A = this chain, B = another copy of it.
């Protein structure tokens, strides 16, 4: 028991050593650039709503930063995923492979397509899809019919595979692409957490048919609420814009909509904030790497806990800094959470796994032992880009 108390105290001391006295939120926006200038410009123009130059500029800036050929700004990351899945061909009655270890938006978006999430396991190295294990599973439990991957147990088509770059750490993307090609699955990358993260120098969210970003208030950059769809396919980008803007055909005054559309456009007001935030993204990413390095030194001497580093060949945005408890200390997770939060350093465990949530308890799934193992051992610690400079 004395050792147990010790680790939670040691974690508090390590965090305090990096951040100084609290409080520190898990992830706060940093709004130190042109946010006010652009918001005021937007307000003065009166174009605060569905059209305006900041939406156009934000989309161009996002494409430029990520290297995607096209970016379509939308109202949040969940909406981005919903539309990306639809554009990837997900239909009512399909199944979509998603991680059990993810935020609930990934699973919800699948249900918005009247499809069923099908959960795969993660690997400890990336916190994302375990490609080898998923290949074994698909080999054993699916078959190809007319170039489609069919779940033999349910008889349903598995249409797409959604890798999620957890806490900003890229998954094994080469493995994902090979697997998807082999099993005829469309790849939609959930890059909600990984703006600024690259795999072999290429930005996450640009490898799949489509990728999605989030600019919620807790993300690396924020638009209040917002998201984006990335794609290199011009026709898909046009269709994404069409679907997210009520599917209205262009006309001076006629209101004709040619398919079921959505009101998912990002308001110009929020895009104005996004343009200012994107300008600061490179310096935020530097600050977050700096924070990682400081945490790394602070946690290097602790037994029982490891600070997660970016996978090889990857650059992580270090959206959320993450501790992993070893087997001997996993039972101290809640004590560490309580002690750090009591010391005003906001920490939290990873999300409850999707298959443990009531709405998804009957969804198909493979063995999820690593995700379960991880879910008992992960702790996110304060990660805002402003934390280091605040302390210095």
Interface residues of chain A, those whose CB is within 8 Å of chain B, are: 28-29, 31, 35-36, 39-40, 43, 46-51, 75-79, 103-105, 108, 111-112, 114, 216-218, 222-225, 246, 248, 252-263, 265-270, 273, 337, 341, 347-349, 351-352, 357-359
Contact = CB atoms under 8 A, between A and B. Distances in A.
Contact of A224 (B217, B270, B347): B270
5 closest residue pairs by CB, A with B:
A49-B217, A224-B267, A224-B269, A253-B348, A78-B263
B263 A105 contact: yes
Given A39-B39, A225-B265, A359 B258 contact: yes
Nearest to A276: B43
Q: Is the interface of A mostly helix, strand, loop or mixed?
A: loop
A330 to B, nearest CB: 16
23 contacts: A31-B43, A35-B43, A39-B43, A48-B217, A48-B222, A49-B216, A49-B224, A50-B216, A50-B225, A77-B263, A104-B248, A224-B269, A225-B263, A225-B265, A225-B266, A225-B270, A253-B337, A254-B352, A255-B348, A255-B351, A255-B352, A257-B357, A259-B358
Contacts of A266: 225
A78 B39 contact: no
A217 B267 contact: yes
Nearest to A75: B75
Given A46-B28, A104-B246, A224-B267, A111 B337 contact: no
A253 B347 contact: yes
A122 B347 CA distance: 56
Contacts of A268: 224
Contacts of A46: 28-29, 31
Contact of A222 (B49, B263, B341): B49
Contact of A225 (B28, B267, B273, B347): B267
